[in-house]
A = this chain, B = another copy of it.
Amino acid sequence: MPSRSKYKTRQKEIVVNYLKSVSGTHITAGDVARHFKEQGIPVGQATVYRQLESLVDQGLVNKYIIDSNSPACFEYTGADSHLQGESCFHCKCEKCGKLIHLHCDQLEEIQAHLDREHQFKLDPFRTVFYGLCEQCSR
């Protein structure tokens, strides 16, 4: 059972703030835990994983699973991030790892189509398009 965060804790604040402070990059749970350990900030590894999971559940953080043998990446996508507002789609380059943010009306049509024709409620923040970016596909 995931921690559904009923209490407000110092650790939760620290994790959110750190994620915000590195907004715009993708970072692994290990990176976060290591940072806290090195800086002597009292947030343990298990808590980092738990808080990240909870933040993903809340839609404040996006989780990217790039490859089966590399750790998952996280990115703050909350209200005061530069991703805020419109539904934002993400493209991840399988080769160079670049993460591209797309705002596009036609892509938003996908959402309506999946709902209308396939009765599937797409969660755009959790969905990542994988493929090759312009540079890497040449």
Task: Indicate if the CB atoms of B106 and A117 lie closer than 8 Å.
Answer: yes
Segment of A11-19, A40-48, A64-72, A76-84 in the binding face: A64-72
User: Among the listed B100, B102, B120, which residue makes an inter-chain contact with A131, where contact means beta carbons less than 8 Å apart?
Assistant: B120
Task: Indicate if the CB atoms of B120 and A132 lie closer than 8 Å.
Answer: yes
User: C-beta contact mask, A93-110 vs B, less than 8 Å → 1, else 0?
Assistant: 010000010101011001
- A72 to B69: give the CA distance in the assembly, Å: 10
- A114 to B131: give the CA distance in the assembly, Å: 10
Task: Indicate if the CB atoms of A126 and B133 lie closer than 8 Å.
Answer: no
* Contact residues in B for A110 (Cβ distance below 8 Å): 107, 110
Task: Indicate if the CB atoms of B122 and A131 lie closer than 8 Å.
Answer: yes
